[in-house]
Structure 1
Amino acid sequence: MISTRFTEAFGIEHPVVQGGMMWVGRAELAAAVSEAGGLGIITALTQPTPGDLVREVARARRLTDKPIGVNLTILPTISPPPYEDYLRAAIDAGVTILETAGANPAPYLDLLKTHGVRVIHKCTSVRHAVKAEQIGVDAVSIDGFECAGHPGEDDIGGLVLIPATADRLSIPFIASGGIADGRGLAAALALGADGVNMGSRFLCSVEAPVDEAVKRRIVEGTERDTQLIFRTLGNTARVATNGVSREVVRILDAGGDFASVRELVAGARGRRVFEEGDLEAGIWSVGVVQGLIRDIPPAGEIVRRTVAEAEDILRRRSLAVTPV
């Protein structure tokens, strides 16, 4: 068993975390990951109301008694969700691990710390990771350019970003982006991380609540089948390549603004992709790591074989090194 600062701090068996994916991070998937010894994540804003989040956590608790986290992505919007209400709902549900992403979580840390909640903050750069440590989060999830969703604007891949982060942080951190198996876990540990976060890999699992057509497309896809959108708007996002994402890039490259693509990128359209299996209904997130995903196993199997493969790699590499 691979024990790290992260597993010790968060009370889990294996240094494998399931990404908090919109429309995907629900009770069945999170519970399956946690029951296998990793850390499953329920996505707060997937739930229509804070009360629904309480009920979703309760559903997960009926499936496992192991630690489960909640993800809350905080973004400045014209009509923002009631973020603090969702946080209080997570606390009321007995959640003790929260993953934050997006805006600075500082305004909420006192509330969370008062209730014994440990905070993992997702970052896309070393400078933001350092800031997160300074404000008092318990761990960082550092997102490389390979990741699905929003990779930031620095375009730094994990091979550099992970050790650069290790050089600057004293708190535990996990590596995100481009990781789908034990090779990725072993590499992340060797580069200084304390574990890994996997999104696309768990999106392509039995328990992921998305249509089978999405999972089959991921298995069929290659590392070249993603599209970077919103580059001209300074809000880069990595999504699956399809007719919609190509049209978004075309419009923005021709000088369009967000209003000109708003309908194409509406969240309701992306939700249809996952729920109905219409791969051209909207944009949907997946990372370049889909080029390494070749099956649709149970989430627990993903956790167990990822750790077993990493242990085998680390053991063999250790034996292969001859002391001087």
Structure 2
Amino acid sequence: MPIVTPLTKLLNIRVPVVQGGMQWVGVPELVAAVSNAGGLGLLTALTQPNPDALREAIKKTRKLTDKNFGVNITLLPSINPPDYEGYARAAVEEGVRIFETAGNNPAPFIKFFKQNGCIVIHKCTTIRHAKAAERMGADILSIDGFECAGHPGEEDIGGLVLLERASQELKIPYIASGGFADGQGLVSAMALGASGVNMGTRFMCTVESPIHQNIKEKIVASTEQDTVHIFRTLRNTARVFKNKVSQEVVRLERRPQGAKFEELRELVSGARGRVVYEIGDPDYGVWSAGIVIGLIRDIPTCEELLSRIESEAENAIERLNKLSVAKAKL
């Protein structure tokens, strides 16, 4: 039996799983594979060098799937901001009707997308920001717990409490992000009120993921202790894989005088992170990974992964139902 939730109904997908919008990873081949497998694939707009390149990525994805997919636009502080408006306009003009926003002040983008009949998922790390996005008109919220890869915010609230707080405070559907890799995790999120889950690191480690095989195998060989936070002292915390570069960043930040971003810029450059995925050297630069790496033990296709999640979720629900029946007989 399919798992039907507000997420699956609203997005017209079979499995209540969204692929995270990951820089350098959310490309047409992975996105189409996730959508073909029953989830929602998300192209990462800023992986493309400009809005016209995003148009071509959308067209390529459409050739690979006839299922729904979306576009992620993450709004981050930048000395030279990308053409966010251009990316948004290009995607809408190409017929995309599902968007994930994240980062700073999404209000203008949510307004633009809603005016064009789009569904908006907004990712946030606090209930305060979630309620603000709800007021702005978001359709679904993605609640990002402390466990997640990338930017977990500065409040260090784990998913267990954050998700239940969301159930108390929010009026629209929400999904859980950070720490999810299997059917048991999906059911646990739904037990806390979520309508599905967002998975990033887990989809990095699939056959269709564009990253180098060495990095996939490094994820499989790692444990939940193999990530670290950088930029804590700069109030821009990011969870990344624990390697020589990220540990050097932490060392510099922990000096009595701390560290300025200018001192870290070369170490943490996005270009170096991209090269990690291309050449397969896990120590070449910083790259995102969530503590969910402790649960990743193989490199399946997206179809195999989502089918397994469905089966695991069904089994988990059945176990819980048996507990209820056993109690009733006492």
Is TM > 0.5 for Structure 1 vs Structure 2? Answer: yes
Between stretches 168-177 and 300-309, larger displacement belongs to: 300-309
Deviation per CA, 1:220-248, whole angstroms, max 9, x where unpaired? 00000001101111111000000000000
Q: Deviations over 1:103-135 (max 9, x none)?
A: 121112232112111110000011111111011
- Deviations 1:53-77 (CA, angstroms, capped at 9, x unpaired): 1111111111111100100001121
1:263-278 alignment, distance < 5 Å: 263-278=266-281
CA distance in structure 2 between the aligned counterparts of 1:263 and 1:180, rounded to whole angstroms: 32
SS in 2 for 1:80: coil
Match for residue 315 of structure 1 among 313, 318, 325:
318
User: Quick check: 109-118 or 80-89, which moved more?
Assistant: 109-118
SS at match of 1:264: helix
Partners of 2:278 and 2:178 in 1: CA distance? 24
- Paired with 1:260 and 1:93, the residues of 2 have a C-alpha distance of 41
Is residue 129 from structure 1 mapped to residue 130 from structure 2 by the alignment?
yes
Judge conservation of contact 2:267–2:285 (CA < 8 Å) in 1: yes
Distance, in Å, in 2 between the alignment partners of 1:91 and 1:308 is 35
Name 1:238's counterpart in structure 2. Answer: 239
Correspondence for 2:196: 195
- Following the alignment from structure 1 to structure 2, what is the Cα–Cα distance between the partners of residues 115 and 135? 15
Give the match's secondary structure for 2:169.
coil
2:113 aligned partner, one-letter code: L
Check conservation: 1:244, 1:264, Cα contact below 8 A: yes
Structure 1 residues 82-121: aligned runs within 5 Å: 82-121=83-122
For residues 111 and 162 of structure 1, the distance between their equivalents in structure 2, rounded to whole angstroms, comes to 28
**Structure 1 residue 300 displacement after superposition:** 1.8
CA distance in structure 2 between the aligned counterparts of 1:110 and 1:282, rounded to whole angstroms: 37
Letter in 2 for 1:262: R
RMSD between aligned residues: 0.9
| Amino acid corresponding to residue 123 of structure 1 in structure 2 | C
- In the TM superposition, residue 269 of structure 1 has moved relative to its aligned partner by 0.4
Q: Which residue of 1 aligns with 2:40?
A: 39
1:315 and 1:28 mapped to 2: Cα distance?
34
3-state SS in 2 of match to 1:77: coil
Q: Is the 1:269–1:283 contact (alpha carbons within 8 Å) kept by the matching residues of 2?
A: yes
Structure-1 separation of matches of 2:273 and 2:320: 42
Q: CA deviation at 1:29?
A: 0.5
Q: State the Cα deviation string for residues 177-233 of structure 1 (Å, max 9, x = none).
A: 001101100100001100000000000000000000100000000000001101111
List alignment gaps of at least 5 residues for structure 1. none
Which residues of 2 match residues 220-235 of structure 1 at below 5 A? 220-235=221-236
Of residues 262, 265, 268, the one that matches 1:262 is: 265
- Aligned-pair CA distance for 1:31: 0.5
Unmatched 5+ stretches in structure 2: none
Alignment match, 1:177: 178
Identity %: 57
Deviations 1:126-171 (A, max 9, x none): 1111111011111100001000000001101111111111111111
The aligned runs of 1:66-85 (5 Å cut-off) are 66-85=67-86
Is 1:2 the counterpart of 2:3 in the alignment?
yes
Q: Tell me if 1:147 matches 2:148.
A: yes
Structure 2 CA distance, aligned partners of 1:116 and 1:166? Answer: 26
Structure 1 consecutive aligned stretches of length 4 or more whose deviation exceeds 2 Å: none
Secondary structure of the 2:175 match is strand
Rounded Cα–Cα distance in structure 1 between residues aligned with 2:127 and 2:112: 26
Q: Which amino acid aligns with 2:143?
A: I
Superposition deviation, residue 316 in structure 1: 1.9
Displacement of 1:25 in angstroms is: 0.1
User: Would you say the 8 A contact 1:141–1:176 is kept in 2?
Assistant: yes
Contact kept in structure 2, 1:185 and 1:307, CA below 8 Å: no
